[in-house]
Amino acid sequence: MPRTLIEPFRIKSVEPIRMTTRAEREACLENAHLNVFKLRAEDVLIDWLTDSGTGAMSSKQWAAIMEGDESYAGARSYFRLEAVVRDITGMTNFIPTHQGRAAERLLFGAVCKSGDLVPNNSHFDTTRANLEKLDVEAVDLVIAEGRQPSLSHPFKGNIDLARVEALLIAQGARIPFGMLTVTNNTGGGQPVSMANIRAYAALLKRYGKPLIMDVCRFSENAMFIKMREPEYANTPIKAIVQEMFSYADGATMSSKKDGMVNMGGFIVLRDDRWVETLRNDLVLTEGFPTYGGLAGRDLEALAVGLEEGMQEDYLRYRLRTAEYLGEKLDAAGIGFVKPTGGHAVYIDARSVLPAMPQQHYPAWALCNALYLEGGIRGVEVGSVMFGKRLADGTETYHNMELVRLAFPRRMYTQAHFDYAAEVMADLKQHAGAVRGVRIVKQPRLLRHFTCEMAWA
């Protein structure tokens, strides 16, 4: 048997990408105030800023788009998608939204009150922000192994059940529900095991609390379960997914990930208690309950995408791409969060720039260098993203300096990954030439998106 795991598709439609010269990239980055978020996408060769909403749709999805029923109320496309979602999740209440954070805002708005507390393995930024906006405390309780980048563990996304129970005992009255993010994006795209999901749900149930899952990457999580949890080795992905959902009372979804579409999200709920409030709020800000901020064609593409995202040959290839890049980084002596996650590789900038002081933002510097060197765009997950400037003008720093390279689905081929690995190995050789940065201008919140930098 040949050992190379090939892309399980052929390409029907192509989109050119443009190689720029080093001089052009220098000018582009200067114009962007040394912040890759401010680059024009067409000046980027390989865009690994995010896997969210950036993937390629299949010919079946494009065909489904023509079937979109754009009726304001009761559209056929809604009922088609609802049937698919019900089959996968086993939940009767389906509420479409325009993306994941809208689902979060609606659900939290209906269920949480000021002073509440929500445990999770790790809250994604928007999840945390939507809770904190309501004065709800968002507590991250991932297992200790999940916080050590170089340590390998099959399920680094697992939630620490002992710490959850301690919180339920001490602060139970403040907890409206428990959350669990699959895969754990903030912790490196790491999976949660079925055993952990099952035990967490049972624990919450003993204390009368529902489990709400953040299921953006549920298919990737299911594939990890199949590969790493022995009793599931012969279980079909869809059955694993259905079992994962069977432990939850509800879920929020960003369809821009494992939904395989460019825009969309939803809420599902097993029982009816919050549904009326949610649908009323939905009409106010998203749209009528049968489209929730989306076009009929979006609902059709998602109905097909959800099923395609669960195909095993696709998932095997998907997880292999990240692992493959990891092997090449290892060979070049570049550190990263281990094992590689489902949708991304998180490079440890300190392994490339060990001498750069933290006040020169090494992960940001590496991000810029990847663009200058090879036209590759990633995201800093370090002290610009998580540090703060205090009132007295001093800066706080993050404990890790990572660069996330997140892979759009079905979009880049093995040659793109080989190219990126070469760029990184070259960079490591010439690390002395990589320049640090300082912040010249920053907003108060979420500064990484819009801050302006200068060379340190």
Please, which residue, 124 or 324, has the CB nearer to ligand F0G? Answer: 124
Provide the pairing of β-strand 93-97 with 265-269: antiparallel
- Between CA 347 and CA 325 the distance in angstroms is 11
Please list every residue from 48 through 107 that binds ligand F0G, using CB under 6 A.
50, 52, 99-101
196 to 128, 144, 157, 164: CA distances (angstroms): 22, 14, 9, 12
Residue from the set 48, 124, 247, 417 that interacts with ligand F0G by CB under 6 A? 124
184: which strand partners?
190
Please, which residue, 52 or 383, has the CB nearer to ligand F0G? Answer: 52
Binding mask 128-167 for ligand F0G (x = CB under 6 A): ----------------------------------------
Please, which residue, 101 or 448, has the CB nearer to ligand F0G? Answer: 101
Residue from the set 58, 89, 120, 181 that interacts with ligand F0G by CB under 6 A? 181
- Between CA 156 and CA 145 the distance in angstroms is 6
The answer to whether residue 259 forms part of the interface with ligand F0G (CB under 6 A) is no
Single out the residue of 160, 180, 323 nearest to residue 250, CA to CA.
Answer: 180
Please list every residue from 412 through 451 that binds ligand F0G, using CB under 6 A.
none
Give the angle subtended at the CA of 52 by the CAs of 46 and 54, to the nearest 5°.
Answer: 50
Count the residues of the shown chain that bind ligand F0G, applying the rule CB under 6 A: 16
- Distance in Å, CB of 406 to ligand F0G, minimum: 6
Residue from the set 185, 193, 221, 321 that interacts with ligand F0G by CB under 6 A? 185
Binding mask 193-232 for ligand F0G (x = CB under 6 A): ---------------------x-x----------------
- Contact stretch for ligand F0G (CB under 6 A) within 8-16, 120-128, 204-212, 307-315: 120-128
- Distance in Å, CB of 292 to ligand F0G, minimum: 13
- Distance in Å, CB of 126 to ligand F0G, minimum: 5
Please, which residue, 134 or 425, has the CB nearer to ligand F0G? Answer: 134
Strand, helix or coil at 346? Answer: strand
- Between CA 347 and CA 450 the distance in angstroms is 22
Task: Return the beta strands (E) in 270-407 as ranges.
Answer: 344-348, 376-377, 379-381, 402-406
- Say if residue 84 is exposed, middle or buried (CB neighbours under 10 Å; 0-12, 13-18, 19+): middle
- Between CA 351 and CA 141 the distance in angstroms is 27
155 to 7, 195, 444: CA distances (angstroms): 26, 10, 35
Please, which residue, 100 or 375, has the CB nearer to ligand F0G? Answer: 100
The answer to whether residue 346 forms part of the interface with ligand F0G (CB under 6 A) is no
Single out the residue of 405, 384, 376, 409 nearest to residue 188, CA to CA.
Answer: 405
Please list every residue from 263 through 322 that binds ligand F0G, using CB under 6 A.
265
- Residue ranges in contact with ligand F0G by CB under 6 A: 50, 52, 99-101, 124, 126-127, 181, 185, 214, 216, 254, 256, 265, 406
